[in-house]
Each structure stands twice: as structure tokens, then as C-alpha cells.
Amino acid sequence: MNVTIQQGGIQTVAADAIIVNLFQGVTAPTGATGAVDQALGGAISELIAAGDLRGKAGETVVLYPRGAIPARRVIVVGLGKPDKFDLEAVREAAGAAIKQAQKVGAAAVATVVHGGGAGGLDLAEAAQAVVEGSLLALYRYDAPRVQKENDDETPVDSLILVEFDAVKIGAVEAGARAGQIIAESVALARTLVNQPSNIATPTALAQAAQAMCGEVGLICRVLDEPELRAEGMGALLAVTQGSDQPAKFVVMEHCPESCLTQPPVVLVGKGVAFDTGGYSIKPAESMLGMKADMAGAAAVIGAMRAAALLQLPLRVIGLTPLVENMISATAYKPADVFTAKNGLTIEIANTDAEGRLILADALCYAGELKPAAVIDVATLTGAKGVALGSRTNALFCDDDVLREALLAAGQKTGEPLWRMPLDPAYDRQIKSTVADLKNSGGRSGGAITAARFLAHFVGDWPWAHIDMAGSAEYSGGPEDTPRSYLVKGATGIPLRTLVEYLRSVVE
């Protein structure tokens, strides 16, 4: 997608479609929408007066200027109620409008920066949200099939952000650039998750991470199984021993020269390329979505790309343990005992509680990096989905500053988090009679006991665990909150939250 900035009035822009907006309750359009309305002889005002345009969030109408202005079409998108307007509303409006533009066959689209004027939002942040919402809504996975869906659609190949005030062009450019970097990083994460698991093997995912690092200038190291044994990662290797696909452990580092001595922020992403449940096998219907059990790793890979391209003056290290959880004669079994990297022994109560095992060793590895903070993200427990559904993700955090920063980042990006308890009293559920811990505490408080398990592999540094189960994929069904910029398949959540957190640390 070619994203550019243009100074001037949007009513003067030659494009296949121009996008303006309207707040709910407005009866006389002003600003850019008012200028377009005047150029069209009051056509937008007529729609408002007739009740055909109310400005409700996500509402769109298309007008045909018939030569009154250079643009071939005008799309008016509703912003909703002014008192509920925020950056998420900008993303929603941008997504709805660009989908309408694609539907009518507009290849070149120009848009105002929703919220940058009467909306009262920071102009750079609003421009970022417009680009994010637009590009995220246009994402399509190039599935391996002969007959492609929507082959007859004209793709939107250029997006112009139009700003009337020349003084403000710099802010719009900065926001648009950040939005494009972040949206394209989300697209990378989405594609990794959308790929079938026979393609996106641990080795292939590691190679994809290496390729990305090479493109953007990140340091990358991939540990193979002999190196993992040397590291003492017995918990991770237990999960992978039933698979023909070898485990990989990817270490990605963004370290500007000015940050060489800085303690790193470490991001850890669960990377189970496919999860059968092992001998604690999943029901058939529950296994269908398990190619997405590496969505945490995909989010971390994408976040590292964004950190590099945004040139954040911050040392950031991304860790992605990559395995398959399969059934075979060599697979690990219930009642087996393994030793993690920090020496703790773990009884296997449930082979389907594998994600916490690979994260345990990854957290131990993170601790050796002397981190400023560690954040792990994982599709970890079905219990999280029962508790919070797909819209909101669970945040477990032992540090007040880190917790508040992540909550703010999630709210700002439209990927909300909810604080969950991390009370050591829950440890009684994961107490073992034959080892230090067992890897499952049963159904009761399942997301909490999983987090408590991970806490035993955390050192004296700020740590947060984000359980994003249920949010890695979007089906558009009743269990999903409709969002215009999400399409069926992988979401990339919580990549944008991670990047916003990193940017907030810099600021």
C-alpha cells in the first residue's frame, strides 16, 4: 500500500474516492465535510435532513459528484457520539470507510484525518489510527488455492491523508509512518498465524523470524535442540519430544548503539506451532484452531519488526520458543517428571498444559539477560476465554508501574486488558507430591493457576503475563465483538499493545 500525505482541501483532490466524516447528532456539516457539502450543492446536508445519514459509528454513504469536484466518489463515514469518540473510534471509522471504498472499486483513496480537527485528538495519533484502521481492514491472507475469493475486487493500492493546514503536515506524516509500520507488522503476524501448520512448522517460523530480522537490521540467533539441552531447557524439550519437527528457540535483539548498556525489555511469545493436546488429547472440534497456538510468538516477531523500523531508542529482546505438541511413541505422558532450566522439577498432570512449560524455560532464559522488564504473551488457557471472552485479554502482573503502563497501552490501541489476581494462595492447586510443581491445577481458576505456575520461573524483575486465548483469531461470530478493521482469521493481537508499551517507555 502506498501511503502519502497531501496538503490542501480534500474537495480539490483527484481520487477514485474521498472520505469525510460526520458525528452523530450533527445537522449542519462543518470543516472538510462542510467544504465538500458546499461543493456538492448541499448534497450531504440533504441526506442528513432526510434521515439517510445520521453519523452513527461505522455508517457509510456514497455520493457521486458528477463532475462537481475532481473525485469520482464521496464516502461519508459516521464517527458516532462525540462524547464516546477516541482513537479506537478513528480506527473503526477508517476501517469501515476503506472497506466501502474497496466495495465500490476505488483504487486510489483520499481521506481526512478523523479526529484531528473537531474530534480534539492528537493529530499524529489520529493519523496513525487512520492508517492502522485502513490497512488492517484491507488485509487479506493469500491462501493457497486456485480460485481466489473476491478476485473481481479492485484492490485499494494508494491512500492519501489530506491535511488543510500546512503547519500540521509534519505531525500527519509522523503518525502515518508509524501507523503503516505497525499495520504492516500486524500483517506479518497475521500471515504467520493464518498459514497451515504443515507450512508454519517450528523451523519455518524460525526462518521467517530470521528473514524479518535480516530485512530490518535486527540481531537474530536460533537455538536448536542440542543447544536447548545445553541450556537445561528440560520443560521445553519435554513438549517437543513427541514430534518429528525439531524445536527452535529464536532470540531477536533490537539494540541501538546508544542503548548497548541498557537493561533490555524482553518480550516472550508462546510458539506452539500445532497443539494436539498430546496424550491429554483435545476433542476434534477443539483441535481445528490449534495452528494459532503460536500467535503469541507471531505477535512478538511482528513487534520486534516494528521496534526496529520505528527506530526506538530502547534495547528490546524478543524470545520465541517454537515447538509442536504431538502424540507418538516418544511423546511425554501424564505423570512424567521433567526438570526446567532453573532446576525446578515439574510433574505432568496434563499434556495439554504445554504452553506454560515452554514459557517456563523461556522466562528463565529471559532472567539471564538481566532485564528491565519481561512481558510474555500466550494463547495459554481456555479458562481465560470463559472468564473474559475474546474482546478483553487477561493481565497478570507483579509490578504496579508495568501493570498500569500495559493497561494504558491496551486501552489506547483497542486491545483492552483486565487485571487478574496473582495470589500465591493459588499455588496449593499446583502442588505436587512427586515434584516441585505440577503443570495443571485443574479447571477451577485455570488462568490464574497457569499464571502462578509461570511465576515460579520469574526472578527479581518486573514481569507481566498476557493470556490472549480466544483473541488470536476473529470469526465474526456472536462471541466476537464486531470491529471494522478485523477480518476473518488471525488478529495479530496483542502486537499493537506491545509496541505502544515500548513507545511509552521511550517517552
Q: Which residues are catalytic?
A: 282, 356
Q: What is the dihedral of CA 218, 221, 222, 228, to 10 degrees?
A: -140
Q: For residue 39, give Cα distances in angstroms to 24, 35, 49, 82, 236.
A: 22, 6, 18, 25, 65
Half-sphere exposure of 107 (CA within 13 A, CB side): 4
Query: CA 266, 269, 271, 277 torsion: positive or negative?
Result: positive
**Cell numbers for 349:** 498432570
Enter the DSSP assignment of 72: S
C-alpha closest to that of 339 among 436, 247, 271? 436
Tell me if residue 327 falls in helix, strand or coil: coil
Burial letters for 110-137: b for 16+ Cβ neighbours within 10 Å, e otherwise?
Answer: bbbbbbbbbbebebbbbbbbbbbbbbbb
SS3 at position 504: helix
Cell numbers that stand for 474 in this block: 476473529
- Residue 498 · residue 375 · CB < 8 Å: yes
Q: What angle do CA 384, 389, 395 make, to 5 degrees?
A: 45
Contact 394, 388 (CB under 8 A): yes
Rounded to 10 degrees, what is the CA torsion of 82, 87, 92, 94?
Answer: 100
